[in-house]
Amino acid sequence: MRTETAIIRRLLSAMLVVLLFAFAAAAEEEYAEEEYEEEYEDYIDENAMWYAVRVSDPDGNGGGKSVTLEYNAELDLPQNGEYSWYASNAEGEKGELLAVTAEPLFETEAFEKPEIRFYLCELAADGQSFEREVFAAGFTGLPLIRIHTEDEEDIAYPDYYLAGTMTILDGETVQEVPISVKGRGNATFNYLKKPFTVKLEEKTSLLGMGKAKKWALLAGWCDKTLLRAALGFKVSELAGLAYTPDYRYVDLVVNGEYRGNYMLAETPKEEAKRLDISEGGYLVEETQYDGDNDPSFRTDKQDLRIRFRSPDGEAVTGQIMEAVSTEINGMEQALLALGEDDGLPEQIDADSWVNWVLVQNILANKDTNRYYYKTGAGSKICMGPAWDFEWSVGIGWYTGERPNPNHELTLNTEYVRRLMKNGQFLQKMKERWSEISPGLEEILVSFMDNTAREISLSRELNFCRWTIMNQKIEAGGIPMGSYEAELECDKTFLREHIRWLDGQIGGLPE
């Protein structure tokens, strides 16, 4: 009994000590908050800065215009303040004093060439100093797209369009067209930097690309090099896919707000180019999402949702729906029954499937989008186009060291898994690999270096707007800390992965 009493006393004593420490910590925290609030009013926190990013308009002469910067800092600003504007660097270090203004506005000198400039503003009023604000302003040399929606309504959803206008500035080229615009993607539209779909009233050529009615503005949020989509399209061309979307890098401003570096790209639809789909042909997409009203059906064996891309909407009659679903289900049944020693299914164009599988594997794409098409009534079912490479080149469902040391074949679908066990398909893939693999490593690394130089100023401005280089974001992998480190990491992964693939594919038995 005495032992139990002693134990109880010791427990009560320990609990009392814990409560006293907790009370003291809470009091200290409350005091610290009060002390901080008092000090906050009296001095500038040297580390408090953030970027208000602007993009100047190219004026057609290789330069740009001046930019008006506005100090805001999300404060209730005092009256009769004095705003001191300085030249700065990206870290917010103070340089030359440029101007002192009574209003929170400053107009920069005109941009005579593509460049990024940084400015710092300090506010003093009523004997107090307030936070400094750092501005990045620039003309990157890339085309600039400005989108304005009616009443500047926010593009908040991926399932309905808003009316608006789109202005494209590219040196002396200026286009202004009425548009409808909506969010794009599923998981990707939940990211802070959002992709968009732009629909024009009629097929129009933009920035020298082929005429199309729908265009994608790809954000590349998970990609800290901003190169993965371009790499995917480059590999698609090298592998010989029948259709590779065309694209241009741009800077994007929506309702006056700079959104960053984007890729304006043709969408995987018949109207984009070159598939040349005739009567009896179609383009469909395999998707796991049900949140749209696109005409679709489900496959018999795997219950996959297949939605129409061409034709689409009301053009998909009951007769077309029945014919296409019958063909896709016939293909599915043949692929799921495929054995190692069987001949390839007569329903598929095996060469296009080989090319598509190689594209995904060269870039180690973890999140493949799968499209199937027929060019006409007498053709076979082809695989393509290749699309969506944001979770590739060593990232996506991986949080370990980088460059990712793990290399594996990208299968991602039961159809491909069955084909990758079939002797005839593997032989075709080995033969195709021997045609496209020589020099591939050097070609892709050179492409990455050249494209990184092309977008160098734009991506610098982009990462002022989105300060994520030291942050782990969604599927982006462990942060490397700088753009240069991210680029070298991806190049190293690609080199190692291509060599690994050469052993896997090139080493297949004859």
- Of 393, 32, 56, the residue nearest 228 (C-alpha): 393
Tell me, yes or no, whether 413 lies in a domain: yes
Cα–chain-centroid distance for residue 424? 37
Full-model pTM: 0.87
When computed from its CA atoms, the radius of gyration of the chain, rounded to whole angstroms, is: 28
- Out of 123, 138, 153, pick the residue that ends a domain: 138
- Out of 138, 169, 200, pick the residue that ends a domain: 138
Domain containing residue 473: 282-505
At residue 206, the pLDDT reads 95
- Are 157 and 99 contained in the same domain? no
CATH number (domain holding residue 112): 2.60.40.10
Contact 474, 221 (CB under 8 A): yes
- Are 397 and 312 contained in the same domain? yes
pLDDT digits (tens, 9 = 90+) for 190-217: 889 999 999 999 999 999 998 999 999 9
Q: Which residues contact 34 (CB under 8 A, 6 or more apart)?
A: none
Contact 73, 51 (CB under 8 A): no
- Are 370 and 290 contained in the same domain? yes
- Are 210 and 297 contained in the same domain? no
From the number of C-beta atoms within 10 Å of its C-beta (0-12, 13-18, 19+), residue 124 rates as middle
Question: Which of the two residues, 325 and 272, has the higher pLDDT score?
Answer: 325
Alpha helices in 318-467 (DSSP H): 318-336, 350-362, 414-419, 423-436, 440-454, 456-465
Position 305 pLDDT exceeds 60: yes
Tell me, yes or no, whether 276 lies in a domain: no
Cα–chain-centroid distance for residue 89? 27
pLDDT digits (tens, 9 = 90+) for 328-353: 999 999 999 999 999 999 999 999 99
Please state which of the ranges 407-411, 418-422, 456-460 shows the lowest mean pLDDT. Answer: 407-411
- Are 249 and 336 contained in the same domain? no
- Are 329 and 421 contained in the same domain? yes
- Are 450 and 313 contained in the same domain? yes
Tell me, yes or no, whether 69 lies in a domain: yes
- Are 240 and 292 contained in the same domain? no
Position 40 pLDDT exceeds 60: no
At residue 75, the pLDDT reads 62
Position 62 pLDDT exceeds 80: no
Position 443 pLDDT exceeds 80: yes
- From CA 12, how far away is CA 18, in angstroms rounded? 10
Tell me, yes or no, whether 106 lies in a domain: yes
Position 447 pLDDT exceeds 70: yes
Q: What is the mean pLDDT of residues 250-274?
A: 85
- Are 362 and 405 contained in the same domain? yes
The single-letter DSSP state of residue 439 is T
Cis peptide before 58 (omega within 30 of 0): no
- Are 470 and 384 contained in the same domain? yes
> What are 421's two structure tokens?
């066990």
Tell me, yes or no, whether 5 lies in a domain: no
Q: Which residues contact 477 (CB under 8 A, 6 or more apart)?
A: 394, 395, 398, 399, 402, 404
Position 112 pLDDT exceeds 60: yes
Position 35 pLDDT exceeds 80: no
From the number of C-beta atoms within 10 Å of its C-beta (0-12, 13-18, 19+), residue 343 rates as exposed
Position 280 pLDDT exceeds 60: yes
Tell me, yes or no, whether 2 lies in a domain: no
- From CA 443, how far away is CA 393, in angstroms rounded? 15
Average pLDDT, the chain: 87
Q: Which residues contact 455 (CB under 8 A, 6 or more apart)?
A: 140, 142, 226, 249, 261
At residue 18, the pLDDT reads 38
> In total, how many domains does the chain have?
3
- Out of 116, 138, 160, pick the residue that ends a domain: 138
At residue 509, the pLDDT reads 75
- Are 134 and 151 contained in the same domain? no
Position 29 pLDDT exceeds 60: no
- Are 150 and 133 contained in the same domain? no
Tell me, yes or no, whether 170 lies in a domain: yes
Tell me, yes or no, whether 311 lies in a domain: yes
